Amino acid sequence: MPNRPIILNAFNENCVGHINHGLWTHPRDRSGEYNTLEFWTGMARTLERGLFDGIFIADVLGAYDLYDGGLDLTLREAVQLPINDPMLLVSAMAAATSHLGFGVTVNALSEHPYLLARRFSTLDQLTRGRFGWNVVTGYLDSAARAIGLDNQIVHDERYDRADEALDVIYQLLEGSWEDGAVRRDKAARVFTDPSKVHPIRHHGRWYDVEGVHLSEPSPQRTPVLYQAGTSGRGQRFAARHAEAIFIAGSDKGVVRRTVQALRSAAQEAGRRPEDVKIVLAITVVPGRTAAEARDRHDEYARYASPEAGLAHFSASVGVDLSRYGLDDPIRLEGTNAIQSAAKAIEHLGGTRRKLLEHFRLGGRYPAIVGDASQVADALQSWVEDTGIDGFNLARTVVPESFEDFVDIVVPALQDRGLHKTAYAPGTLRQKLFGAGDRLPERHAAARFRRAG
């Protein structure tokens, strides 16, 4: 495979403990400052200095209350609790940067699509086209109960509902306002040409919407669409909608087959394989020397909490893993949670002891430890051996994990032609695909556009 720039996103969440749990106790860690603007604007500047494509901000509605029958460990170790709204971070980080993109996780079913569409247009306008939406459908029963449901909606129905929600949003973002509707003509006293604004009339299985979109068209109209579903139904959803797909995995063979399946599904949906960028979750602990990196990794591990990682993973698979003995085989019946996480148990050893060993840094993503050349070798190998397009870099100790990556690893990647040396102009979609600001005509959203 010829060298080509890879996609680099920082992977984060508006909380203390995101993926690598327990590291909030490290004396140099500042993740407890997550509820300050300075924490986020400083991080954004670091990422832009390193020419990252974006920051991918995860989110979850509900609390991880399965492990050991309650919230005690979740609360003690800040396992994504407390957690704040990710959307409110974007404006501040956008004001502190000029090119960094923002992929924000928002549950497609948590709010009415009419309201979400306005929020997306607003952020795309304020960022000048640097906004992306990571479309999720939820999976926690605790989230369902918190909003008045008895249990979480069954897995495939969540995607069915999300399909309709996105159709509503496409109608609003792509079809309600024509290009040229906004004239801003003071002399004629015409801000918007009424003949070019149209109400949508959608009456579906789950949504009824009649009205015009409240916002004028933003630079991208529809934000860049991210998605993380790799189940059968999730793949079909991603094939129709996603422009960038976030995957996890520690086995290159499994990841390669996942990549091939996702690209094939996109083709079957009438798109092109290159219409979908696939990014892998990864943890990196770099050092100026290999010995320094190993020492840093061992230092981090002394503060990490593998059990907190297991509590998080319990929620992902929908089963209280604390009830298994250390060496009991974990056998899962069909659950209503994240199906890809359930499948990962077998690849991670199949017992609680093996999971805890794998979660040495408090999380389950593969960890690359080494000097600049070793890390660059490993990242390049993942790209060449699996066909992924890049990485979502999970944080360890902040801010130093991102600072070290920028200072140590980025120059090595640039020397190999694997990372850009300057940002390209334009919106986030233009930067990622080089084919314009708007979704291509072969995307599902295009059928809602008005001719002309």
Inside any domain, residue 343: no
Inside any domain, residue 334: no
Q: Which residue has the higher pLDDT, 329 or 166?
A: 166
Task: Find, among 227, 234, 291, the residue nearest to 261 by Cα.
Answer: 234
> Rounded distance, CA 317 to CA 300, Å?
26
What is the number of domains present in the chain? 1
| Phi, psi for 200 (deg, rounded to 5) | -95, 150
User: Mean pLDDT of all residues in the chain?
Assistant: 94
Which domain, by its residues, includes 296? Answer: 7-306+367-448
pTM: 0.94
- In percent, the amount of the chain with pLDDT more than 70 equals 95
Q: Which pLDDT tens digit goes with each residue over 412-423?
A: 999 999 999 999
Inside any domain, residue 26: yes
Determine the average pLDDT of the residues in 15-24: 97
- Strands 182-185 and 190-192, bridge-based pairing: antiparallel
Q: Which pLDDT tens digit goes with each residue over 201-239?
A: 999 999 999 999 999 999 999 999 999 867 788 899 999
- Residue identified by tokens 């002309």 is 452
| Amino acid occupying residue 5 | P
Inside any domain, residue 49: yes
> Rounded distance, CA 296 to CA 298, Å?
5
Q: Which pLDDT tens digit goes with each residue over 30-86?
A: 999 999 999 999 999 999 999 999 999 999 999 999 999 999 999 999 999 999 999
Inside any domain, residue 183: yes
Query: What local confidence, expressed as pLDDT, does residue 339 receive?
Result: 55
Determine the average pLDDT of the residues in 303-330: 91
Inside any domain, residue 276: yes
Query: What local confidence, expressed as pLDDT, does residue 335 receive?
Result: 55
> Rounded distance, CA 137 to CA 135, Å?
7
> Rounded distance, CA 160 to CA 246, Å?
20
Reply yes or no on whether the pLDDT at 247 is more than 90.
yes
Determine the average pLDDT of the residues in 310-315: 92
Inside any domain, residue 341: no
CB burial readout 261-296, b (16+ within 10 A) else e: ebbebbeebebeeebbbbbbbbbbbbbeebeebeeb
Query: What local confidence, expressed as pLDDT, does residue 452 receive?
Result: 57
Inside any domain, residue 321: no
Reply yes or no on whether the pLDDT at 1 is more than 50.
no
Q: Which pLDDT tens digit goes with each residue over 349-396?
A: 788 898 999 899 999 898 999 999 999 999 999 999 999 999 999 999
Question: Looking at residue 376, which CATH number applies to its domain?
Answer: 3.20.20.30
> Rounded distance, CA 222 to CA 173, Å?
6
pLDDT band at 340 (very low <50, low <70, confident <90, very high): low
